[in-house]
Amino acid sequence: MIKIIVGRLLQLIPVLWIILTLTFFMSKEVPGGPFSAERQATPEVIARLNAYYGLDKPLWEQYLGYLGKLARFDLGPSYTYQSESVNEVIARSFPISLQIGTLAFCIAAVFGITAGVIAAANKNRLWDYLPMSFSMLGICLPTFVLGPILALLFGLVLRLAPVSGWHGLNYVPFHPMIMPAVTLGLFYAAYIARLTRGGMLDILSQDFIRTARAKGVPDHQIILKHALRGGLLPVVAFLGPAFAGLLSGSFVVEKVFNVPGIGQEFIKSVFNRDYPLVLGTVAFFGILIVVFNLASDILQALMDPKSRK
């Protein structure tokens, strides 16, 4: 198991470094600067600001300084929020995205696995076609279309949930989170349903399942005891990247529902040319993806001894 962890880290760390390096140099190629939008600032003031934040240094020196700070987990100051560092902005906004992402993950896992099991148990029948039809719709429908539809239907027509806004992490009625979480989790629920169905059908077609049926083992026991565990292996491999994607792919959802999460902070940082915040959020998302991919590989190795080789 230790060899698996070390091997995955040796593979993922260079990928993370490449992503951060490309993001750093691409952000520097964007026309303009973080202070060019300040109309009242004179060229002398802008020059002083660039010198203060080290933007007047050679690009390679800025890059080495960025890597040095990153090694100390110091993501630097934010140009947009001058009273906060990038670490503080992430610490303030990420719990909001984490709460919505966790709820979306639970929705995706519960509904996706349930729909996949029902479809696999009823192959080529009505209860196979219905879940798979809805899963195809969930895969094809993008979040920037689904979000406004849910906001219009449940917020304005049925008035079951607020259209937008955030009431804080300690807000007891959780219905303000439902629409963002459903919008975010529908695609993953649809994909998990198809993975579960495919994995279980592969197990159900094997010889030991035919032997169990010939011995009179009930169908529900075959499905839940034998087919489900093997059928969930591709789902487990997908859950790690899915959870990371739910946390890092919430830009559109947070914008549609006006949620002040880390995704919306990333969008603001791009438009404001807040280089440290852009690089900080990319680094944070990259670390999340590495961690959850590693956790998914470990869980898959525990469930399937063949994958340890």
The answer as to whether 48 is a domain residue is no
User: What does the pLDDT read at residue 172?
Assistant: 43
Domain of residue 304 covers 92-308
d(CA 103, CA 245): 13
pLDDT tens sequence across 205-222: 888 888 887 878 787 778
User: What does the pLDDT read at residue 235?
Assistant: 86
Residue 195: give its domain's CATH number.
Answer: 1.10.3720.10
Whether 261 and 168 have beta carbons less than 8 Å apart is answered as: no
The answer as to whether 5 is a domain residue is no
The answer as to whether 7 is a domain residue is no
**pLDDT confidence of 255, banded at 50, 70, 90?**
confident
Nearest CA among 281, 196, 197, 300 for reference residue 241: 300
Task: Read off φ and ψ for residue 85, nearest 5 degrees.
Answer: -90, 170
The answer as to whether 281 is a domain residue is yes
d(CA 67, CA 88): 19
The answer as to whether 197 is a domain residue is yes
User: What does the pLDDT read at residue 164?
Assistant: 63
Least confident of 117-131, 163-177, 289-303: 163-177
Report the share of the chain in percent with pLDDT over 70. 87
The answer as to whether 151 is a domain residue is yes
The answer as to whether 227 is a domain residue is yes
Q: Which two tokens stand for residue 4?
A: 């698996």
**pLDDT confidence of 42, banded at 50, 70, 90?**
confident
pLDDT tens sequence across 153-192: 877 777 776 666 665 555 445 566 788 888 889 989 999 9
State how many domains the chain has: 1
The DSSP annotation for 42-99 comes to -HHHHHHHHHHTTTTS-HHHHHHHHHHHHHTT---B-SSSTTSBHHHHHHHHHHHHHH
Is the pLDDT reported for residue 1 higher than 70?
no
Number of Cβ atoms within 10 Å of the Cβ of 73: 8
pTM of the model: 0.80
Block residue for tokens 């192959």? 123
The answer as to whether 232 is a domain residue is yes
d(CA 117, CA 110): 11
Is the pLDDT reported for residue 278 higher than 60?
yes
